[in-house]
Amino acid sequence: MSRCAACGMENAPGVAKCVFCGNGATTVAAAPAAPQSRAKIAVLGGLVLVAVLLWRFPLFSRSSERDCQGGTTAEEVWKTADPKAPRIELPNVNQIDPRLTPYVELARLRSTGTRRYGENNDRQLRHLHQGVVDALHLAGANAYFHAPSRPVGQDLSETITSAVMAHPGPVKRALRDRYFPSGRAAMIFQLAPGGGAERGGLRVNDLVVGFNGQPIAGDFPTDALFRIASAAGDRAAVEIVRDNEVRTLQLERRGKLFGYWSQTVPILEVVE
């Protein structure tokens, strides 16, 4: 565009006579676009670029139903016709370290999904696709662990998860009869790093038998433990069984919780 030197109106490029005022005044180049417009375009382009990068490389990756493309198949490992065999179906399952916690493998689950889905399973605590959680419950498991994901195709990975029945290992008959008459116990599965429980000396696989003077027993000791711990003050005396010895620990609450995850487990091995 060009601007009339007489009236200041803009004309098409190359026009010798202004179409607005009609005189033969010469025209001059129109003022360049305001720098603000170019800045807005640059900002918009930057936002689009950031959006694309976040979509491809998310800071907080979360798997969705679409990430699990191949679904889940289960292979039953442990079979028994004994009606008294433990089958615990609880709303929550915990991940265990198979090197630390005794277990019986119930089923092996193969989950195929996107690479992001496999990476989430490898690095995020408690991350499992809903289909895997359902299969864990059907297997009667109270815990799980899985091997690192491996690539099986373009942008696809496979995660093999073991559904297990975690238990405390051998328990002396005298302790079982005194503290675990129901044949179940509240076992510590995980500890919050630096939390009050860890700082107080609580360890994975400890069996909690008393909290602030209240016994932890019954068919669902984990529920009782959570309720009593939630109502406790900033300090608590916790009685545990570790290595078939009874010990008392002093825990100090850090934040809202003492910082532990427990689960109801069966006593599978009884020794004299």
Instruction: Name the pairing type of β-strands 170-172 and 269-271.
Output: parallel
Say yes or no to pLDDT of 126 above 60: no
Mean pLDDT of all residues in the chain?
Answer: 77
Residue the block writes with tokens 């609880």: 90
Mean pLDDT lowest among 29-33, 126-130, 211-215: 29-33
Contact 43, 49 (CB under 8 A): no
Say yes or no to pLDDT of 249 above 60: yes
Say yes or no to pLDDT of 58 above 80: no
Domain boundary assignment for the chain: 2-56, 70-166, 170-271
- Position 30 scores a pLDDT of 44
- Position 66 scores a pLDDT of 54
What class has domain 170-271?
mainly beta
**CA dist 212 → 12, 69, 203, 208, 228 (Å):** 89, 48, 18, 11, 8
d(CA 86, CA 265): 9
**CA dist 23 → 10, 29, 225 (Å):** 14, 17, 95
pLDDT in tens, 154-204: 888 888 888 888 999 999 999 999 999 988 899 999 888 888 889 999 999
Residue the block writes with tokens 């599978």: 268
- Position 135 scores a pLDDT of 74
d(CA 209, CA 227): 14
Query: What is the length of the chain?
Result: 272
**Confidence category of residue 18, pLDDT binned at 50, 70, 90:** confident
- Position 62 scores a pLDDT of 47
What is the DSSP annotation of 117-185?
HHHHHHHSTT---HHHHHHHHHTT-SEEEEPPPEEEETTEEEEEEEEEEE---EEEHHHHHHH-TTSEE
pLDDT in tens, 61-106: 444 445 555 566 667 777 777 777 766 656 667 888 899 999 998 8
Cβ partners under 8 Å of residue 3, min gap 6: 9, 10, 11, 27, 28, 29, 30, 31
- 77 versus 12: the higher-pLDDT residue is 77
